[in-house]
Amino acid sequence: MMNEALPEWPAFGLADDVRPALRAAAATGKPLVLATLTALGGGGPRPVGTQMVFGHGVVSGYFSGGCVESDVAAHAQACLADGAPRTLVYGEGSPWPDIQLLCGARIEIFLERVAADDPALAELLAAQNGRRPCVWLSDGRVRRCVAPEAAQPWAGAIRRDHEPTPRLAVVGSDPAALAIAGLGAQSGFETTLIRPKGPETPPPLAGVAYRREEAGQALADLGLDPWTAVAVASHDLVTDQSALLAALPSRAAYVGLLGARARLPERLAKLRALGVSEPAIGRLHAPIGLDIGGKAPWEVAVSVIGEIMALRHARLSGSTSTSPPAGTAAAPGGRRSSASAPAKTLTSEES
């Protein structure tokens, strides 16, 4: 556990998913403290369900952008020492009026000490490895990690729903494809770049896996589940078609195609001729990405990752209003943005 002050630069807050930090902290064999934002009033920078981890040499996550993190760290040290769970209140009704949240919010944060070999923690990490959704239930002394359908919170327990880590598959090799893959990895996606018959040397992108198989085969081997997005950006009609034939009928949450609007009707006609159904074709986001007006590689990447994130958060919030911008709403082939069924959870995976 950290006894020193938090780092001057809060790079520990860049990671939104605390499970990698939980894994790293548990690997030390020493107990850790898991802090969960359980209530929010008056608006705030982070949603309910946001978490932080404090472990031996490990700290990850943030709640307020600097207002309370140091104080939470001090309470985490006390929680680690005595093992007693506790709820911290900041803002209105707080016992620490000298700690002010500039946003004017009131937040409640639940702290619990978790042993490195806790069975619930082991199950949480196993579910992440297996890309299974799960629910963390805890009152600070008794905790369980179960499948969503088996979740039965008891009095005094908090609930935190976890989805599989979002995943991104990018098909292509030009600067735009590299930018999409690079930004995806930086944004927390498990990212794979697919370049059929590409060089043996992987791309110079941190955190990006690489596959050289034919696009359809690579996507099938990867496995396209409801937490996977596919960005097709190869500029090769055969490769694009192979990727779309694999992605559109799959359970992938998002399938986008980079290419000229004028050629889209022809490309969709070929997919129909090959037996792709209209509902599957209707899932295609083409032209790919939000219409931000730019075509430079990083601008394309921002538009693509932005669209994927917008749809993901719409699904988590239950929104049905994620329509594409007016300039692209009438794109040939019925391009549309749609939200999946709302996630009925106490806390979302937004944190």
Block residue for tokens 């004028």: 262
Q: Which residue has the tokens 């500039």?
A: 102
What is the widest separation between alpha-carbon atoms in the chain?
68
Task: Give the percent of the chain with pLDDT over 70.
Answer: 89
Bridge partners of residue 36, in order along the sequence: 51, 110
Query: Do the Cβ atoms of 117 and 125 come closer than 8 Å?
Result: no
DSSP 8-state class, residue 335: -
Query: 314: which DSSP letter?
Result: H
d(CA 323, CA 310): 10
Among the residue ranges 74-83, 310-319, 340-349, the one predicted with the least confidence is: 340-349
Amino acid identity, position 272: R
Residue with tokens 């209105």: 92
3-state secondary structure of 178: helix
Amino acid in the structure at residue 168: L
User: Looking at residue 220, what is its pLDDT?
Assistant: 97
What topology is assigned to 167-317 in CATH? Rossmann fold (3.40.50)
For residues 228 and 248, is the Cβ–Cβ distance under 8 A? no
**Separation of alpha carbons 102 and 243, rounded Å:** 48
Closest by CA to 183, choosing from 300, 18, 335, is 300
Q: pLDDT tens-digit profile of 24-59?
A: 999 999 999 999 999 998 878 899 999 999 999 999
In whole angstroms, give the CA distance from residue 15 to residue 107.
20
pLDDT band for 334, please (50, 70, 90 cuts): very low
Query: In angstroms, rounded to a whole number, what is the distance separating the alpha carbons of residues 141 and 349?
Result: 23
10: helix, strand or coil: coil
Per the listing, tokens 């075509």 go with 295
Interatomic CA distance for residues 348 and 351, integer angstroms: 7
| Rounded CA separation 152/132 (Å) | 18
The residue ranges of every structural domain in the chain are 11-162, 167-317
> What is residue 142's DSSP assignment?
S
The single-letter DSSP state of residue 202 is P
Q: What is the predicted pLDDT for the residue at 316?
A: 80
Kindly report the pTM of this predicted structure: 0.87
More confident residue, 42 or 18: 18
pLDDT in tens, 222-248: 999 999 999 999 999 999 999 999 999
pLDDT in tens, 256-286: 999 999 999 999 999 999 999 999 999 999 9
**Cα separation of 268 and 301, whole Å?**
23
Q: Looking at residue 331, what is its pLDDT? A: 31
- pLDDT grade for 3, boundaries at 50, 70 and 90: low
Q: What is the pLDDT of residue 346?
A: 36
Distance of CA 104 to the CA centre of its chain: 27
**Residue 193, H or E segment:** strand 190-194
